[in-house]
Amino acid sequence: MQHNLQLFLQNISASFAGQQLIKITLGNKREKSAELKNIFIKPVTIKNAPKLYFTYRNNTNDTFKNYDIKESLILIEKMLQTDFYNADLFTATNDFHLSADKSGTVKIITRPASLVIKEDAGQHDKQKNRVINSATALYLHELGITTAEGIVKKDMQDKFKQINRYVEIIEGIIKDIDFEKNITVADMGSGKGYLTFALYDYLTANLNLVAAVTGIEMREDLVKKCNTIAAAVNYKNLIFKKGTIQDAELKSIDMLIALHACDTATDDAIYK
């Protein structure tokens, strides 16, 4: 019923106004072949203005938009009428589950709150303190560092800090070098690819360079996984190759990365 949909929207508006809104999800797409799979929405503060941050999850990529509450309610209402059957609203006091069917019947189930508001929730501007933006770096989700909504997982906070610190160090080294828009990099012993992906992201997204980055890794399963992720996030010039540091064939490169805590790997890379 239209009444239940309006009630759901009123709950969104009230929880947003009272700073009790934690997140909203839209799912169970009406058209199974549709490219858009889900929408995840969370409150953020941008330049001291409260907004709702939309993550549109598509089959091949994610897109992101910020809207004020009025625009958001219009969009959510439209999506629940044309694109999705289900929606979940999580607030500090209650969870609300909305479900619709093909006949137009809409039901709402109210449950006790399952989530709590984090002290730093919604401070979207704080992302500027990090070189790598967790909300837009899709590879971070594929690597298991962030949730589908672009939030860094609790048990991956240290890894995310390490990635950003690593990129900051690289930034300090190359900031005064003119690469003339092109740079070729080899990462020797790239492992799971955390730092390799972050470096490619920084070079292309932050510095707008045409970067060709190659990760050399001896474990075939990691090479395959990293190449799959690179293809999924459309990093065309980021590739991973199976091989050892000693045997790797390196042509003309501008920078060689070697960051290891095991045996003589770093010494081998320097010698190479």
pLDDT tens for 163-209 read 999 999 888 888 778 777 789 999 988 889 999 999 999 998 888 88
SS3 at position 251: coil
Nearest in space to 258 (alpha carbons), one of 179, 248, 224: 248
pLDDT number for residue 1: 54
**CA distance linking residue 165 with residue 100, whole number of Å:** 46
The structure tokens listed for 33 are: 């072949």
More confident residue, 77 or 137: 77
pLDDT number for residue 182: 85
pLDDT band of 137, cuts 50, 70, 90: confident
Mean pLDDT of all residues in 137-144: 91
List of residues 6+ apart from 19 with CB closer than 8 A: 43, 117
Containing 46, the helix (H) or strand (E) segment is strand 36-46
Q: Domain 163-271 is of which CATH architecture?
A: 3-Layer(aba) Sandwich (3.40)
Mean pLDDT of all residues in 253-270: 73
Which whole-number Å values give the CA distances from 216 to 151, 240, 246, in the listed order? 29, 6, 10
pLDDT tens-digit series, residues 218-253? 899 999 999 999 999 899 999 999 988 777 777 788
Domain ranges of the chain: 2-127, 163-271
pLDDT number for residue 128: 43
Taking the CA atoms of 158, 59, 217 and 175 in sequence, report the sign of the dihedral they define: negative
List of residues 6+ apart from 261 with CB closer than 8 A: none
